[in-house]
Amino acid sequence: MIAAPDLIAFVQHEARLIDAQRFDEWLALFTDDARYWMPLDPAQTDYKLHQSLYIEDPVLLRLRVERLKGAKTYSQKPKSRCHHLLQTPLVEQADHAAGRYQTWTPFHYLETRLDEQTLYAGWATHTLVVVDGNLRIELKRIDLVNPDSAFGSIQLFM
């Protein structure tokens, strides 16, 4: 059984890994069949039937991480940096018997490179499962306040 403080700490730790650019450790938090999803419409319930801003599996996430680490990734010279400001995550669902949990976290996310800073606001929903005694991310859904806006390149991970 996973207690609410442990779920909250997990979500906060995940954001800390991204901010510290510890991407390999961050990737290890995902299940083998995980999805990182940013819907185009907050009412979307299925990423297969609708367009999305992002829908990435662990292979695509690994490609993005490798691109960020690449010596010839000129769009990352200097590297982008980010900062998550999270409200306390709420535990929305807890099925202890199945080892499945869902948290909901309002956030502000700042991404910066050189003199440019971009602020995003939204809500992160984490669907977490217990795998071999450890919490893992099965689905991370990012709902932006303004998903229908025109966005530039989001370099890192919300």
Give a three-class secondary structure readout of the chain: CCCHHHHHHHHHHHHHHHHCCCHHHHHCCEEEEEEEEEECCCCCCCCCCCCEEEEECHHHHHHHHHHHHCCCCHHHCCCCEEEEEECCCEEEEEECCCCEEEEEEEEEEEEEECCEEEEEEEEEEEEEEEECCEEEEEEEEEEECCCCCCCCCCCCCC
pLDDT (tens digit per residue) in 118-145: 999 999 999 999 999 999 999 999 999 9
Domain boundary assignment for the chain: 4-144
Structure-model confidence comparison of residues 155 and 94, the more confident one = 94
The fold adopted by the segment(s) 4-144 is: Nuclear Transport Factor 2; Chain: A, (3.10.450)
- Judged by phi (left if over 0) then psi (alpha if -120 to 50, else beta), residue 108 lies in beta
How much is the pLDDT for 149? 87
What are 69's two structure tokens?
Answer: 């680490």
Sign of torsion over alpha carbons 64, 65, 66, 68: positive
105 strand-pairing partners: 124
pTM (2 decimals)? Answer: 0.94
pLDDT (tens digit per residue) in 32-72: 999 999 999 989 999 898 899 999 999 999 999 999 888 77
pLDDT (tens digit per residue) in 61-107: 999 999 988 877 777 888 899 999 999 999 999 999 999 999 999 99
How much is the pLDDT for 148? 87
